[in-house]
Amino acid sequence: MAPFTIRWGIISTGGISTKFVHDLLVDPSSREVSDVAHKISAVGSRSVESAQKFVDKFKATPENESAAWGVKNGVLEGVKAVGTYQEVYNDPDVDVIYVGTPHTLHHRNTKDALLAGKHVLCEKPFTLESAELEELIAIAKDKNLFLMEAVWTRYHPLAYAVEEVLKSGKLGKPKRFSADFSMDFPLDDKPTSHRMLDPALGGGSLLDMGPYPSVWAMLLVHRNPHNKDTDPKVLTSHQTVYEKTDVDINSRWLVEWKGTCQGQLMTDLGSAGFQEATAVLQCEEGDLVIEYPPYRSEAYQIHPRPERDIGAIKEKSRHHHPIAEGNNGMSYEADEVARCIRDKKTQSDRMPWEESKITQGWLDVVRTAGPTATAHLKGTAGQ
Ligand SMILES: NC(=O)C1=CN([C@@H]2O[C@H](COP(=O)(O)OP(=O)(O)OC[C@H]3O[C@@H](n4cnc5c(N)ncnc54)[C@H](OP(=O)(O)O)[C@@H]3O)[C@@H](O)[C@H]2O)C=CC1
Ligand SMILES: O=C1OC[C@@H](O)[C@H](O)[C@H]1O
Cα–Cα distances in Å, from 191 out to 100, 186, 236, 280, 293?
A: 21, 10, 32, 35, 25
Mutate to test the pocket of ligand 1, among 46, 84, 120 (most ligand atoms within 8 A of CB): 46
Kindly state if the Cβ of 198 falls inside 6 Å of ligand 1. Answer: no
Kindly state if the Cβ of 95 falls inside 6 Å of ligand 2. Answer: no
Task: Measure 91 CA to ligand 1 centroid, in angstroms.
Answer: 22
Alpha-carbon span 294 to 309, nearest angstrom: 30
Closest ligand by atom to 267 CA: 2
Kindly state if the Cβ of 23 falls inside 6 Å of ligand 2. Answer: no
Kindly state if the Cβ of 268 falls inside 6 Å of ligand 2. Answer: no
Among the listed residues 76, 97, 77, the one whose alpha carbon sits nearest the alpha carbon of residue 86 = 97
How confident is the model over 9-36, as pLDDT tens digits? 999 999 999 999 999 999 999 999 999 9
Residue nearest to atom 4 of ligand 2 (CA): 295
Q: What amino acid occupies position 199?
A: P
Please give the pLDDT value at position 1. Answer: 87
User: Does the interface predicted TM-score (ipTM) exceed 0.95?
Assistant: yes
Mutate to test the pocket of ligand 1, among 10, 12, 46, 296 (most ligand atoms within 8 A of CB): 12
How confident is the model over 78-118, as pLDDT tens digits? 999 999 999 999 999 999 999 999 999 999 999 999 999 99
Among the listed residues 235, 231, 269, the one whose alpha carbon sits nearest the alpha carbon of residue 250 = 269
Identify whether the C-beta of residue 280 lies closer than 8 Å to the C-beta of residue 178: yes
Kindly state if the Cβ of 69 falls inside 6 Å of ligand 2. Answer: no
Rounded to 5 degrees, φ, ψ at 52 are -65, -40
Which residue segments constitute the domains of the chain, with CATH numbers given? 4-151+328-346 (3.40.50.720), 157-322+357-375 (3.30.360.10)
Task: Measure 12 CA to ligand 1 centroid, in angstroms.
Answer: 7
Kindly state if the Cβ of 295 falls inside 6 Å of ligand 2. Answer: yes
pTM higher than 0.80: yes
Kindly state if the Cβ of 103 falls inside 6 Å of ligand 1. Answer: yes
Atom of ligand 1 nearest to the CA of 194: 17
Check pLDDT > 80 for residue 227.
yes
Kindly state if the Cβ of 59 falls inside 6 Å of ligand 1. Answer: no
Please give the pLDDT value at position 378. Answer: 83
Residue 263, number of CB atoms within 10 A of its CB: 27
The pLDDT mean for the chain works out to 97
Please give the pLDDT value at position 383. Answer: 60
Kindly state if the Cβ of 293 falls inside 6 Å of ligand 2. Answer: no
Kindly state if the Cβ of 328 falls inside 6 Å of ligand 1. Answer: no
How confident is the model over 239-284, as pLDDT tens digits? 999 999 999 999 999 999 999 999 999 999 999 988 889 999 999 9
Residue nearest to atom 10 of ligand 2 (CA): 208
